Structure 1
Amino acid sequence: MNRRRKSSIDQDITVVKAQLDILRRREAEYQTLLGGIRRLMDTVHDERVVLEAKEKRLDAQKKPINWLPTEILVDIFVECTTLRGRDDQAFCIDGVQYHSPMVISHVCQRWRCVALATPRLWSQISFQDHSWNPRRGRIFTARSRGALLDLRYSSSTDITLSKEAKLVDQLLTELVADVPRIRSLVFQCKAPQSLEMVIKMLVCPDHKFSQLQSLDLCAIIPGPAYSNTIPLLSRDHLNDTPVERAEGEGDSARGWSGLRHLVLEEVPLLNLPKYFLVNLRSLVLVFCPRKNLPMRRTAYLLKMSCICQFLSLTPRLEELTLDNIVPFFDVMLSKDAGGLPPDEESHLVPTPPVRLDHLKTIDWSYPYAADVHRFMSFLDVPRLVKLDLQVEELPPKRSDMLLWRGYQSTSPPASLALPSVVDFPSLRDLSLQCAGEEPAVAVVRKFTFPVLEKIELANVDTAAQSLQGGEISLPILPRLESILRDPRLPHLTHLTLSRFTISPEYGRADAVLGYMPVLISLSLDACGRVGRLLKGLEEKIVGPIKPQPPGDTPTRPRRGVKVCPRLEALSFWGCHDLEFASVLAVVRSRNRPDVRDAEETPKIPGSPKNKAASPVTGVSGRGKGVEKTEEVAMGRQIRPLRKLQVQSAPAQVFWGTFAPSSNIVSTLIAAQEAFQPAHIAYIRIKDCKLVTEADALSLKDLAVADMMWTSS
């Protein structure tokens, strides 16, 4: 084998190196070219991304929802969550439960960024036994960051007691770390055992609920048995040593004084420390009525003594709601309360009335007529402004119902020594809903309302008998003097009557409206024979403003209205016998220029055709001649009642139907108001079959500025 020479090999190597150099240069050139292409590709990619984003923004600008700034979106999201949270945050679609914050955060990228950056959106956390997820609760808590928490737990009726107790215990364990951030807390549990765990957490001095403003504790089963939670029936945390020690420390006491709203439903009272009650503004007590007195030791009976003790710890209370409850009266007013006579034979414990200087509103449903006076006798409420009562009618076959309410017979015993009259010096709004006519005439007869401005009387009798043709027989509206102790209402400006029939008795309408000299608004809801009442508003009087001295030339008479000269608003809802002619007559009698009737020819005062136009000079019904004739022309005379204590020396009265109000300085001004009545400017007519829309709208031609007619 011949070997190549070294020089030959070197030549080949030189050729290969030359070729390699060429390839390396070409590879570098290609690499440079590829780099440039990649840079071009990246530039094109970035430009494409920017243009795509711009396209999306431009396309989004076509939708009105995207015109809103982020601040507005935040407010909308929070409001949406709040509205949903009033009932239940979760809603179900195709069997799957969704929560408002989760749904909002999955709509689009912008909404998700806004949602995740809004802690308030995640501060309302709802737990249900059928969908409770600890992980979801921790996610909401983490995303809420420093926002105050609104927590709600509700159980279903089909959950077992052991499972409910386990869930509540687990939930409370998860909430311990976030106790300082809790603003509102709602627990609706099936068993008292679960509520006991919640109360223990609230009572524990180590847990400082410094931000707690609203607390709602509810047992969803009516009349629950406290067989396994006996301490809740007799436990009074006001005497607990740890709580008293916390009061002495000061910091804990100040941290527990933020509660403003409290709701207790079927939960025994006096289980919360008094730090929760010091600044309480609103209190709601809900206890379903029972058919008989509970005899079991494990049943809870709401006693009047507990209510008095509880209310005495709420000095700043402003709103009190008693929903379907009547306490068992186990106490009586003490001997030094209102000068009551001593009673050594009564077995009831004497107690003084509870003074609530800041209480403004009382809303009470389910009491009987006798319960109202007895309960209100234990309260001293000098600043009460609104009283809303929904009174039940005592069943004729269940007189024993009074026994378990604390009465010893079918009527309150005389040994209770209740005050005969309870005064409400600041009450301005009275709403009374009664079942039938008898409760209406008995519930507030022992109360005085010297500055009453609004009255709403409603009949809620569901057992009204049906007449032929499907009509409902409504009770007759009682006389005002049979409802109120003093029917004179010199400050009343608003009157609402619901589901009553106006009495056809002559003068009854005058008897109602004649006591209301400054009435501004009259509303009639599903009332019958309303034409009789409108007839009183239509009646006119003609005469001079004041009697003429003897010898002077008599002035031409002026026309005025007989009652309610300040009336401006009329509302009719479901008054099926209302006729348009009655409304038109009232409007015509008031919406006219205040001028003297120069066109009318003077007539003889005693003539039969001019009895209604005779000048009125006196109020006596025992006179003779002209005075007696004029009294008959004016209609029914209202017998003068005793003077109110706030009135000074009696003023001389020129007109039999003018009852001067507190802001009428003389009877002359009262007469001027009658001859210059206010215009009817506001009329509402809804579901009145005899009044058509065309007729109603025609009232605008008579200076009715605000007229609305709607059908059913």
Structure 2
Amino acid sequence: MNRRRKSSIDQDITVVKAQLDILRRREAEYQTLLDGIRRLMDTVHDERVALETKEICLDAQKKPINWLPTELLVDIFVECTTLRGRDDQAFCIDDVQHHPPVVVSHVCQRWRCVALATPRLWSQISFQDYSWNPRRGRIFTARSRGALLDLQYSSSTDITLSEEAKRVDYLLTELVADVPRIRSLLFRCKAPQSLEMVIKTLVCPGNKFSQLQSLDLCAIIPGPAYSNTIPLLSRDHLKDKPVEQAENEDDSARRWSGLHHLVLEEVPLLNLPKYFLVNLRSLVLVFCPRKNLPMRRTAYLLKMSYMCQFLSLTPRLEELTLNNTVPFFDVMLSKDAGDLPPDEESHLIPTPPVRLDHLKIIDWSYPYAADVHRFMSFLDVPRLEKFDLQVEELPPKRSDMLLWRGYQSTSPPASLALPNVVDFPSLRDLSLQCAGEEPAVAVVRKFTFPVLEKIELANIDTAAQSLQGGEISPPILPRLESILRDPRLPHLTHLTLSRFTISPEYGRADALLGYMPVLVSLSLDACGRVERLMKGLEEKIVGAIKAPPQGANPTKPRRGVKVCPRLEALSFWGCHDLDFASVLAVVHSRNRPYVRDAEDPPKNPGGPQDKAANPVTGVSGRGKGAEKKEEVSMGRQIRPLRKPQGHSASAQITGGTFAPSSNIVSTLIAAQEAFQPAHILYVRIKDCKLITEADALSLKDLGVAV
């Protein structure tokens, strides 16, 4: 093979270079074209994205939820995802836990941005043993940033004690760094060992719960055994040296705690430091009464001495709730200790009553009638305004149940009789729920309520007798004088009766309503034989307020009502024997204008009928049917006293009595109220078989709101 010459190769190289130059120029040109096309594509892409975003925004504007500003949307999210007051803090769908903040943040881009920018939304953290996820807790804590934390842990009865202890210990370890911003803390544990770890964390001087406002400690097993936690039974943290040293520190957050709400369920009292209780406003105690005295050393018994000591540490308490809780009475009043007979010895410890100047509400469920007066004798509550009481009937075959509550015997001796009367000078709202008739007539007989404004009496007896038609026959409503020590209720404005039968005896309804001269609202819930009560409300009187002067034309008789002249509202729910004619008669007797009685022509003035029986009141004529006819003549002008000490005597009128209200200082004013009754403005009728909807709506023609 012949070799090519160098000059020939150079010529070929020159040709190749020329071709390469051409290709490079073309490639550059093509790249320029591609760059331009890419820029055009990017421009088109950006315009497309902007238009798509605009389209989404325009479409979103059609939905009313997107009209709300971001600030209002934040408030809605916080309200919808709040954990306070709920038993389960997560939406449960097919055993999958969907926590509200997570659900809200996955709806749309705007909602997610708003959710992630709202620390309050992530400040409520719940740990359940069936959805244990520590990582979720750390994420929530990080997203909450500086917001106050609401932490809850709840166990189930299926978890083992060792596993529960590990989880509680892990949570307490993780919470140490965030203790200063914890606002509420709830632990529902199965084992007392776990609760002991929580209490140790609370009383540790190094942990400053300066923002803690609500604390719930609950043992979910009734009557837990404190075999491994004996210090909770015998230890009083109020006397621990570390706590005393902590109280002496110059730390206002510790000395004046912000804890306002406390719940203790089967957790021994006196295990929290004193500074936790100084500003307490609400206290809930849940200690199921024992059916027998605990014989084990590891069992806890709620004693009245413990409660007195504990309540004495809560001077600012405003609301006390005893949920299925009755203490074991191991104390007696100090003033009663000196009154014991010489031959009677008592093992009870004398103690003075606990004064709670700020207590306004007491809610107590399932005591016996004998427990109520005995417990309230140990409390001095001058500002109590509401008393909600649900009394349980003593089992007839278990009269020894009183022995398990500290009574010496089923018939208490003089040391337990407690003859003193408890006065509630500020009580305005009384709700009494009793199982049967006997507890209703025994529970508040030793209490006085001088300014009572609302009463709710309810029968909760589940063993009521059934009639042939399958209906329940509620017990007869006891006489008011057998329920209350003083049946006169001059300030009562609201009365509610539930599941009682009105007595058919003549005069019983009048006696009940006659004690309530300023009654404004009457509610009957599932009551029977209400026709007697309705007859008392519709009973009318006809007469004249003032006798005419001698020789003048006779005054026009006026129509009045016998009882409750200020009544404005009636409510009937489940009163199956109530007919529309009774309701209409009551409305007619109070809502139509006063007219002259057609059956009674005017009397001749100056005749014998016009002579008053006394300087203030005179009676003339006799009534026919349900109407009574009378005249009240004015003898002299009666000026009201500046500070009335009592109520004037009722003006006796044929067939009835005018009981004066709290601002009535003379029988004349009482008569004026009776002859000028208030109109019935509101009537509620629900589930009454004898009254149709059309009948109820027809009351609107008489100016009644239905």
Q: 2:299, 2:149 → 1: CA distance?
A: 34
Shift of 1:115: 1.4
Residue in structure 1 matched with residue 270 of structure 2 by the alignment: 270
Shift of 1:475: 1.0
Letter matched to residue 519 of structure 1: L
Q: 2:35, 2:553 → 1: CA distance?
A: 118
From the superposition, tell whether residues 628 and 378 of structure 1 become closer, same or farther in structure 2 (CA, over 3 Å): farther
Q: 2:201, 2:213 → 1: CA distance?
A: 16
Shift of 1:669: 1.9
Residue in structure 2 matched with residue 521 of structure 1 by the alignment: 521
Counting only pairs closer than 5 Å after superposition, residues 439-454 of structure 1 correspond to structure 2 as 439-454=439-454
1:243-266: CA deviations, max 9, x gaps? 111111130654661100000011
Task: Answer yes or no: is 1:597 the counterpart of 2:589.
Answer: no
Residue in structure 1 matched with residue 666 of structure 2 by the alignment: 666
From the superposition, tell whether residues 634 and 234 of structure 1 become closer, same or farther in structure 2 (CA, over 3 Å): farther
Residue in structure 1 matched with residue 235 of structure 2 by the alignment: 235
Partner of 2:658, secondary structure, is: coil
Shift of 1:545: 1.2
Partner of 1:456, secondary structure, is: strand
Residue in structure 2 matched with residue 401 of structure 1 by the alignment: 401
Q: 1:519, 1:87 → 2: CA distance?
A: 39
Counting only pairs closer than 5 Å after superposition, residues 438-587 of structure 1 correspond to structure 2 as 438-546=438-546, 554-587=554-587
Shift of 1:697: 1.0
Residue in structure 1 matched with residue 258 of structure 2 by the alignment: 258
1:448-471: CA deviations, max 9, x gaps? 101000000001111111122212
State whether residues 529 and 578 of structure 1, in contact with CA within 8 Å, keep that contact through their aligned partners in structure 2: yes
Unaligned 5+ segments in structure 2 are 629-642
From the superposition, tell whether residues 617 and 260 of structure 1 become closer, same or farther in structure 2 (CA, over 3 Å): farther
Letter matched to residue 54 of structure 2: K
Q: 1:39, 1:253 → 2: CA distance?
A: 64
Residue 648 of structure 1: which of 625, 645, 650 is its match? 645
Residue in structure 1 matched with residue 192 of structure 2 by the alignment: 192
Letter matched to residue 242 of structure 1: P
Q: 1:92, 1:465 → 2: CA distance?
A: 42
Shift of 1:499: 0.6
Letter matched to residue 602 of structure 1: P
From the superposition, tell whether residues 615 and 150 of structure 1 become closer, same or farther in structure 2 (CA, over 3 Å): farther
Bigger shift: residues 523-532 or 462-471: 462-471
State whether residues 619 and 655 of structure 1, in contact with CA within 8 Å, keep that contact through their aligned partners in structure 2: no
Bigger shift: residues 577-586 or 549-558: 549-558
Letter matched to residue 279 of structure 2: N
Shift of 1:64: 3.3
Q: 1:200, 1:261 → 2: CA distance?
A: 19
TM-score between the two structures when normalised by the length of structure 2: 0.91
Residue in structure 2 matched with residue 411 of structure 1 by the alignment: 411
1:549-593: CA deviations, max 9, x gaps? 777765232110000000000000000000111001000000012
Unaligned 5+ segments in structure 1 are 606-613, 636-645, 708-712
State whether residues 433 and 459 of structure 1, in contact with CA within 8 Å, keep that contact through their aligned partners in structure 2: yes
1:379-424: CA deviations, max 9, x gaps? 0000000001101111111111111111112133212473521110
Shift of 1:158: 1.2
State whether residues 208 and 256 of structure 1, in contact with CA within 8 Å, keep that contact through their aligned partners in structure 2: no
Identity of aligned residues (%): 86
1:202-257: CA deviations, max 9, x gaps? 11111111111001111111111111111111111110001111111130654661
Give the number of equivalent residue pairs: 683
Residue in structure 1 matched with residue 368 of structure 2 by the alignment: 368
> CA-atom RMSD, angstroms?
2.8
Residue in structure 1 matched with residue 176 of structure 2 by the alignment: 176
State whether residues 154 and 187 of structure 1, in contact with CA within 8 Å, keep that contact through their aligned partners in structure 2: yes
1:74-100: CA deviations, max 9, x gaps? 222212211687222223323322211
From the superposition, tell whether residues 626 and 318 of structure 1 become closer, same or farther in structure 2 (CA, over 3 Å): closer
Residue in structure 1 matched with residue 303 of structure 2 by the alignment: 303
Residue in structure 2 matched with residue 44 of structure 1 by the alignment: 44
Letter matched to residue 239 of structure 2: N
Residue in structure 1 matched with residue 54 of structure 2 by the alignment: 54
Q: 2:658, 2:300 → 1: CA distance?
A: 55
State whether residues 116 and 143 of structure 1, in contact with CA within 8 Å, keep that contact through their aligned partners in structure 2: yes
Partner of 2:486, secondary structure, is: coil
State whether residues 333 and 417 of structure 1, in contact with CA within 8 Å, keep that contact through their aligned partners in structure 2: no
Residue in structure 2 matched with residue 90 of structure 1 by the alignment: 90
Counting only pairs closer than 5 Å after superposition, residues 154-169 of structure 1 correspond to structure 2 as 154-169=154-169
From the superposition, tell whether residues 31 and 401 of structure 1 become closer, same or farther in structure 2 (CA, over 3 Å): same
From the superposition, tell whether residues 212 and 256 of structure 1 become closer, same or farther in structure 2 (CA, over 3 Å): farther
From the superposition, tell whether residues 41 and 442 of structure 1 become closer, same or farther in structure 2 (CA, over 3 Å): same
State whether residues 179 and 208 of structure 1, in contact with CA within 8 Å, keep that contact through their aligned partners in structure 2: yes
Q: 1:328, 1:179 → 2: CA distance?
A: 36
Q: 1:301, 1:616 → 2: CA distance?
A: 72
Residue in structure 2 matched with residue 34 of structure 1 by the alignment: 34
Residue in structure 1 matched with residue 635 of structure 2 by the alignment: none
Partner of 1:82, secondary structure, is: coil
TM-score between the two structures when normalised by the length of structure 1: 0.90
Shift of 1:159: 1.2
From the superposition, tell whether residues 3 and 552 of structure 1 become closer, same or farther in structure 2 (CA, over 3 Å): closer
Bigger shift: residues 427-436 or 545-554: 545-554
1:177-224: CA deviations, max 9, x gaps? 111111111111111111111111111111111111001111111111
Task: Answer yes or no: is 1:698 the counterpart of 2:698.
Answer: yes
Letter matched to residue 494 of structure 1: H
Q: 2:107, 2:277 → 1: CA distance?
A: 44
Shift of 1:438: 0.9
State whether residues 340 and 414 of structure 2, in contact with CA within 8 Å, keep that contact through their aligned partners in structure 1: no
Task: Answer yes or no: is 1:292 the counterpart of 2:289.
Answer: no
1:313-354: CA deviations, max 9, x gaps? 0000000000111111111111289x9679883221111100
Letter matched to residue 451 of structure 1: V
From the superposition, tell whether residues 16 and 453 of structure 1 become closer, same or farther in structure 2 (CA, over 3 Å): same
Shift of 1:129: 1.4
From the superposition, tell whether residues 307 and 618 of structure 1 become closer, same or farther in structure 2 (CA, over 3 Å): farther
From the superposition, tell whether residues 3 and 554 of structure 1 become closer, same or farther in structure 2 (CA, over 3 Å): closer
Q: 1:495, 1:30 → 2: CA distance?
A: 95
Shift of 1:485: 0.8
Q: 1:693, 1:198 → 2: CA distance?
A: 58
Partner of 1:389, secondary structure, is: strand
